[in-house]
Structure 1
Amino acid sequence: MQSSIRPGQVWLDTEGKRIQAHGGSIFYQNDTFYWYGENKEKTTPGSGIWHWGVRCYSSKDLYNWKDEGLIIPPVEDDVTSSLHPSSNMDRPHIIYNKETGKYVCWLKIMEKDHTQTLTILTSDQLLGPYTMVRTKYRPLNMSAGDLDLVIAQDGKAYYYFERVHSELICADLTSDYTDVTGYYSTHFPNIHPPYVREAPAHFERNGLQYLVTSGSTGYYPNPSEVSCARTYHGPFDILGNPHVNDSTNTSFRSQISCIFKHPKKKDLYIALADRWITDEAGFIPYEDIRNGFDRMYNPNRTDEPFPTATQRRQPYNAEENTNKADYVWLPFRFEGKMAYLDWKEEWRIEDYE
């Protein structure tokens, strides 16, 4: 039995197996926490497998997690399906629609031509089975990257996503949460990666809407950024990097996928992040990554393209080793509007009011 959270260390389920819920989120209902995410158990070097469906775990204490199995299994017999194991399926997000009684799941899909689309599924139960209602979907006719889904107190829902290599979008969802209405706002315009903001993670506190985003450097980690606004559509004020005393400037070598407000604690907000690269051989200083991605996407650069000679000397493929990615869960500390994340080797839910 586990009695604390230990960021960056191997996390096993109640059967002693490595937890596979990457790019994940937490859903809370009936006094139970459900942690779901990308199942990377078969994503090994040379396998050609990007994912093996969406796996879910349940817990009463956020420490010990029971494997509830695949709530969205891969489609093995159709290579054209967005759920085929070779398909680049990432970052599942599930919200519940009280009007329709449906659980709605949005999946980001990287297509073979490098455009990014969505697959949307619904279910009568959180643990499935899910039925596909949209695939190859381009919201607002945009290439749509990392996302978060948010439900306001009045039931209206919003969709935050990276307009690929451009800016962040906030779009209103239709009443059934399976489409956008057409109304949207734009935020954080940047010229190209690695400066474009992706991986939006939303939370609300004291009447303010917060977004934590990362730069765009693939699986390689980079500094996060906190911003806040008075409305879902902004405008957002950039507050700065939340990661305190992070000498690597890489968000403690992780990327946040979700921010979860503990329902039984007064002010406990938990950042759920993945440490995609765990091998020291695969870790590259952020300055090298930033320069490498700038060379890749900056049309005005004429020097050596990414990867650099230094990076080529490191025999590591991050995408093929995500099956052994670890998790970095940390609690936020607030000073005024600003939200901070301090590194903790170990921490306990019980230490918070």
Structure 2
Amino acid sequence: MRNSLLLLLLVFVFSAACTQKAKVFTPGELWLDNNQEHINAHGGGILFHEGSYYWVGEYKGEGKTGNKAKVGVSIYSSKDLVNWKNEGIALTVVDSIGHDIEKGCILERPKIIFNQKTEKFVIWFHLELKDQGYTAARTGVAISDNITGPYQFIRSYRPNAGLWPMNYPDSLKAIVYDESAKAWSEKDREDVRLGKYLHRDFEQGQMSRDMSVFVDEDGKAYHIHASENNQTLHISELTDDYTDFTGRYIRVLSGDSNEAPAICKRKNKYYMISSGCTGWTPNPGRSAVADSMLGEWKPLGNPFIGADANTSFHSQSTHIIKVNGEEDKYIYMGDRWRPKNAIDGRYIWLPISFENDSLKVNWSDTWKL
């Protein structure tokens, strides 16, 4: 009898420990969901809707091949941003051979937004077709009536085919570039800044790799993506239903090799955190500010402060969270990639502070809102 009572007590204590809610963020550590499993939502984005936060991300697998999409886009929910419930798979890849989101494709950086007019939930993502490496450089879109899905895939494509950026001078549209210029030479770099790859992709549509989506206070939505061989960011206006492009877009930080964009708005200023282009290897982060989404973006430098700032705390940006109901609380959301075992990628969430017109991210082993 005594052994039975002891066993019951141990089971109760273990169950209580497992169900106890976390109270602090611990960047870089294992982050367990309601099932006591490490959250599997990499390169993700957050939407606050009707009292809850929803986190969509890449569902990764084991080992090096785990970066290919074998499952799809996962989704989690939370009331406090610390404790997360697994809501399943929002968008599932398919077995059909030749389908855009065929199992084994590369599906990255999903972002979720809500359209007040259509009452539809929309997920945008970066897509590379199966077995084609990173040559497709497409963006894909899916919609659902329910925030947790299932989402219906609509299409994937390169945006803005046959259209010039709004901030691209007429005087440059007729230039014919010397294709013999050595890659990364000063001549090649200058050609890239002037629009070498913009011209190359004019007819078929502009490349869209690392991406994010931002919905402004007036309901206008924007798609931000690494384009022109990852040398220049493009910011494109979305249609009123958030499922297509209007054709209005701009080039941002031309030739500066930015990827992994994340956007927020504070006191009528727009802020961006991005990274350099070094593959899976982390690098010093970048930041920029503008007075409008389709305005001029001014570089601000590395927003990360202190030890390991030159690696963005061994992370890469994916999203900036505006804490609901808080006037001035924003969270940097980054990924610490594990390319040798993709499923073990960790999450780096840290508070953002603002100084004048710039933003800063400081490291903390543990912190809470």
TM norm. shorter chain > 0.5: yes
CA distance in 1 between partners of 2:90 and 2:66 (Å): 22
1:153 matched to which residue of 2?
217
1:108 matched to which residue of 2?
126
1:55 matched to which residue of 2?
74
Out of 84, 89, 101, which is 2:107 matched to?
A: 89
CA distance in 1 between partners of 2:359 and 2:67 (Å): 39
Equivalent residues of 1:102, 1:123 under 8 A apart: yes
Letter in 1 for 2:355: E
* Alpha-carbon spacing, 1:47–1:63, altered in 2? closer, same or farther (3 Å): closer
Out of 84, 104, 128, which is 2:149 matched to?
A: 128
Out of 85, 90, 97, which is 1:71 matched to?
A: 90
C-alpha root-mean-square deviation of aligned residues, in Å? 1.7
Query: 1:245-275: CA deviations, max 9, x gaps?
Result: 1336110000110001101222110011110
How is 1:269-280 mapped onto 2 (pairs within 5 angstroms)? 269-277=330-338
1:198 matched to which residue of 2?
259
1:127 counterpart SS class: coil
Equivalent residues of 2:331, 2:350 under 8 A apart: yes
2:52 matched to which residue of 1?
32
Equivalenced residue count is: 302
2:138 equivalent to 1:117: yes
CA distance in 1 between partners of 2:322 and 2:301 (Å): 21
After TM superposition, give the deviation of residue 344 of structure 1 in Å. Answer: 0.2
2:332 counterpart SS class: strand
CA distance in 1 between partners of 2:68 and 2:234 (Å): 30
CA distance in 2 between partners of 1:142 and 1:35 (Å): 28
1:56 counterpart SS class: strand
1:169 matched to which residue of 2?
234
- In structure 2, runs of 5+ residues without a counterpart are 1-20, 162-204
Equivalent residues of 1:104, 1:121 under 8 A apart: yes
Equivalent residues of 2:33, 2:39 under 8 A apart: yes
After TM superposition, give the deviation of residue 123 of structure 1 in Å. Answer: 0.9
CA distance in 1 between partners of 2:32 and 2:125 (Å): 25
Please identify, of 239-248 and 198-207, the stretch whose mean Cα deviation from structure 2 is larger.
Answer: 239-248
Equivalent residues of 2:158, 2:206 under 8 A apart: no
1:252 counterpart SS class: coil
Query: 1:232-251: CA deviations, max 9, x gaps?
Result: 11211111111101336110
2:286 counterpart SS class: strand
2:310 counterpart SS class: coil
CA distance in 2 between partners of 1:243 and 1:258 (Å): 15
1:296 matched to which residue of 2?
none
- In structure 1, runs of 5+ residues without a counterpart are 278-317
Letter in 2 for 1:145: R
1:321 matched to which residue of 2?
341
CA distance in 2 between partners of 1:48 and 1:3 (Å): 31
Query: 1:249-307: CA deviations, max 9, x gaps?
Result: 11000011000110122211001111003xxxxxxxxxxxxxxxxxxxxxxxxxxxxxx
Letter in 2 for 1:155: G
1:19 matched to which residue of 2?
39
Equivalent residues of 2:259, 2:275 under 8 A apart: yes
CA distance in 2 between partners of 1:159 and 1:265 (Å): 25
Equivalent residues of 1:121, 1:133 under 8 A apart: yes
Letter in 2 for 1:228: V
CA distance in 2 between partners of 1:207 and 1:166 (Å): 28
Letter in 1 for 2:282: P
Equivalent residues of 1:79, 1:86 under 8 A apart: no
CA distance in 1 between partners of 2:354 and 2:230 (Å): 31
After TM superposition, give the deviation of residue 86 of structure 1 in Å. Answer: 1.1
* Alpha-carbon spacing, 1:251–1:323, altered in 2? closer, same or farther (3 Å): same
Q: TM-score, normalised by structure 1?
A: 0.82
After TM superposition, give the deviation of residue 137 of structure 1 in Å. Answer: 4.3
